[in-house]
A and B are shown apart, each in its own frame.
Chain A
Amino acid sequence: MPTQITRRALMKTGLALAGATAIGSAGWTPARAAGKLEIFSWWTSGGEAAALDALTSSYAQKFPGTEVVNATVAGGSGTNALPVLQARLAGGNPPDSWQGNTGTAFFNSYVDPGFVEDITDLYQSEGWVDKIPPAVLDLVRKDGHYYAVHVGAHRCNEVWFNKKLLAKNGIEIGDTLSFDQFFAAAEKLKKAGANALAVGDNGIWANQRMFENTFNGVLGYDQAQKLWRGELAFNAPEMKEAMKIHLRMLDFQNPDHSALSWDQAVGKVINGTSAFNMMGDWAYGEFVKAGAKDGVDFGWVSHPGTDDIFIIVTDCFPIAKEAPNAVEARNWLKTIGSAEAQLAFSLKKGAVAPRLDIDKSKLPPYLQWSYHKFATNKFTGSSVNGEQVPSSFMQASTDALTSFVVTKNVDRFADALKAAQDATKS
């Protein structure tokens, strides 16, 4: 998710505030009637709330006697929600289950401090282990134990394009797009006076999203894994190659990129003032919201070089350790882990359902495509969203990129990333 940089950062912020707020909440113990379930999330915007509603109504159908308390805290990206959640966890007054992102951040914030229940038995009794790709399970699994149920997975590495604008300029995009094909198209558009690449890096993560997609494409899956394991340096020649390609792409961006947010950049592709946008599939929601048609008005293709890679960001729900309503909470996880609930959620959220056995015929064209990718691609976490790296590296790399896009100094950028990589080892 685009918002996850902040989500994650604020998750940690929450820890700091926890102490202060915990004093306030310690004396507050709401009465908990039997047959009650409290779900905590920050999904309050239109599509997100509808997606959460799809889950809670599935639950209400199966367990009509239980009152579902939907403890959403409004405020985009969990800015307000995460401090509240952390305070409740630290203060020993947890919700039964809550929305979380997976990977390193999930383990650091919830599993390692002992806030969540081990639900390995649920995975066995519900047969989830065989239904979900192992690499996805790894995002909530540690030493063979499971700690949360996935509800949706976003693919981060897509190139979105305006089909009509490209057709007008005689450009056709096939099933894949190479860097050379992209640059050829971009040159053609530039000559025709059209803006080729829409970028909205008012929040620099959007630029970082593009750069990560590009270096995954240049390195390929195996080399990129070496990078994350620390076996390949960030200032290796291949990385510098990726940096040069990134700079070349930026030559084709809109001049007001640093004044726009990511969704405004998607808007430029929707209204046909730009041809391409490089973004994860939360952009799909923007196209749908604007009434653009899958495959008619807009198209998509994997970021160059990454057709076999699924850069993944997922949402999940764990159960609190010693949850006030443990039975209801386990029923909740059983429900949201079911194929029907996951399908209903996916249609509303625009993310792929993690189960491989859902009814694909009901999916719109994009989700069918990304579902196929989900089943066949190799998974890798994202450093932009913090699934792959510690937060100190995230900030250092963001800062280095902010300077890089202005100074265009490849060597200095590479060395700064290398230094940030080394700092995480010590």
Chain B
Amino acid sequence: MSIPESVGIPDHYKSFKFSARRSFFWDKLAPVLIISPVIVTTLTFVYVFILLTVLISLSDWSAVNLAGRFSTPLLKNYSQLFANPRFQMDLRNTVIFTVMFLAGSVGLGLVLALLVDRQIRGKGLFRTIFLFPYAISFIVTGVAWRWIFNPETGINQLFNVLGINSALGAAGLDPFKPGWLTDPTVWPPLNEALSKIFPAAARLQFDIGVPVALIAVAIAASWQLAGFAMATFLAGLATIPTHIREAAQIDNASGWTHFSKITWPMLAPFTLINLVILGHVSLKIFDLVYAMSGPGPGFATDVPGIFVFEITFRALKYGVGAAGSLVMLLMVAVVVVPYLIRNMREDA
């Protein structure tokens, strides 16, 4: 159909056909082209490599045994992995570290957020100061914390300077001198008690309980990531409508009531985000622990990340290392996937 000139079409309509072709490119093709490198690299370097890791975990292949085929029995590497007392200790450490670290970082982050969220002078400065550790490399802070927790030259000196130990000495008590990272104790000694109930527990190759050295690592990790939790909580606090706060003020609600009835419930989604994000950081943690204490005395601070690294590249047992990586992936998936699914549903 042709439009007579006499109708007097505005100029920009004349170019309609051209702009349609242009917008097909910009609307449909360009986004695909722009996004495809990301898709291709993600598929290759994430999913193909996960698949390869699965295959390696089921095989005898390694860099020094390129002819390795599927192992017999197929799950040989997995049974070796779980039979290894060191890996059993790593799983114990991961659980205990995650609990201590989440309580520490999320708790501290919440306190900091509540402190900074008031109308005080210099709150921007404090916000920056608290967030700053998050910006530093784990390796750097790991080394610094290793020095701090050195029992001879570190923080224990502070207890001496403060006179705590002379006071304890005067009271006839032992000086307060924790071994921190060097303390191999696992507390409380549960194994004996357990073996009375389950005789099988006597055969356990590791001590159930809280490895004391891990507490120092949890303190360091909490310090570093509390700023992240604080930032999330601050975003959450900003979403609490002013009229609710004002209503509470009019009702003369005490500080604690205000917190427990309004702030805490309304922060729930942000607490969840913190738990998920920091939880998966905790399950994958490697660099901070590696720089701070390595496997630690009697594997008190060993984590699956360090185990996987050493079993793969030192012992050259690639299969067992791959199996360990997949166990880590599964642990993270248990935390992250439900959250992602929930988010996807909300988006849809």
- Does B182 lie at the interface of the complex (its beta carbon under 8 Å from any beta carbon of A)? yes
Name B's interface SS: loop
- Other-chain residue from A204, A255, A395, A412 in contact with B311 (beta carbon distance below 8 A): A395
The B137-180 residues at the A interface (CB cut-off 8 A) are 146, 149-153, 179-180
What's the minimum C-beta distance from B219 to chain A, rounded to whole angstroms? 15
User: What chain B residues lie within 8 Å of A405 (beta carbons)?
Assistant: 297-298
- Does B283 lie at the interface of the complex (its beta carbon under 8 Å from any beta carbon of A)? no
- Other-chain residue from B86, B151, B315 in contact with A255 (beta carbon distance below 8 A): B151
CB–CB A15/B63 < 8 A: yes
Give Cα A254 to B179, complex, Å: 12
CB–CB A257/B298 < 8 A: no
User: What chain A residues lie within 8 Å of B313 (beta carbons)?
Assistant: 9-10, 12-13, 16
CB–CB B295/A12 < 8 A: no
User: What chain A residues lie within 8 Å of B146 (beta carbons)?
Assistant: 259
Give Cα A396 to B315, complex, Å: 8
User: What chain A residues lie within 8 Å of B181 (beta carbons)?
Assistant: 258-259
Number of interface residues of B (CB under 8 A): 32
Give Cα A358 to B296, complex, Å: 44
Instruction: Name the residue of chain B whose CB is nearest to the CB of A412.
Output: B205
Give Cα A405 to B297, complex, Å: 8
User: What chain B residues lie within 8 Å of A9 (beta carbons)?
Assistant: 310, 313-314
Tell whether A407 pairs with B152 under 8 Å between CB atoms, given A12-B316, A395-B315. Answer: no
Instruction: Name the residue of chain A whose CB is nearest to the CB of B179.
Output: A255
User: What chain A residues lie within 8 Å of B150 (beta carbons)?
Assistant: 256, 259
Contact residues on A (Cβ < 8 Å of other chain), bracket: 20 to 34
User: What chain B residues lie within 8 Å of A256 (beta carbons)?
Assistant: 150-153, 182
User: What chain B residues lie within 8 Å of A259 (beta carbons)?
Assistant: 146, 149-152, 180-182, 293
What's the minimum C-beta distance from A394 to chain B, rounded to whole angstroms? 7
- Other-chain residue from A12, A16, A203, A258 in contact with B297 (beta carbon distance below 8 A): A258
CB–CB B298/A403 < 8 A: yes
Tell whether A202 pairs with B294 under 8 Å between CB atoms, given A255-B182, A392-B316, A403-B85. Answer: yes
- Does B334 lie at the interface of the complex (its beta carbon under 8 Å from any beta carbon of A)? no
- Does A21 lie at the interface of the complex (its beta carbon under 8 Å from any beta carbon of B)? no
Give Cα A412 to B85, complex, Å: 12
What's the minimum C-beta distance from A410 to chain B, rounded to whole angstroms? 15
Give Cα A408 to B262, complex, Å: 54
CB–CB B299/A392 < 8 A: no
Name A's interface SS: helix
- Does B133 lie at the interface of the complex (its beta carbon under 8 Å from any beta carbon of A)? no
CB–CB A403/B151 < 8 A: no
- Does B280 lie at the interface of the complex (its beta carbon under 8 Å from any beta carbon of A)? no
Give Cα A203 to B306, complex, Å: 13
User: What chain A residues lie within 8 Å of B314 (beta carbons)?
Assistant: 5, 9, 12, 391, 394-395, 398
What's the minimum C-beta distance from B206 to chain A, rounded to whole angstroms? 8
The B164-221 residues at the A interface (CB cut-off 8 A) are 179-182, 184, 205
User: What chain B residues lie within 8 Å of A15 (beta carbons)?
Assistant: 63-64
- Other-chain residue from A10, A257, A403 in contact with B182 (beta carbon distance below 8 A): A257
The B288-328 residues at the A interface (CB cut-off 8 A) are 293-300, 310-311, 313-318
Most chain B C-beta atoms within 10 Å of own C-beta, residue among A204, A256, A391, A405? A256
CB–CB B151/A204 < 8 A: no
User: What chain A residues lie within 8 Å of B151 (beta carbons)?
Assistant: 255-256, 259
What's the minimum C-beta distance from A217 to chain B, rounded to whole angstroms? 25
What's the minimum C-beta distance from A85 to chain B, rounded to whole angstroms? 14
What's the minimum C-beta distance from B64 to chain A, rounded to whole angstroms? 6
13 sampled A-B residue pairs with Cβ under 8 A: A16-B318, A254-B152, A255-B151, A256-B150, A258-B182, A259-B180, A391-B314, A391-B315, A394-B315, A395-B311, A399-B86, A402-B299, A406-B297
Contacts from B to A (Cβ < 8 Å): 63-64, 85-86, 146, 149-153, 179-182, 184, 205, 293-300, 310-311, 313-318
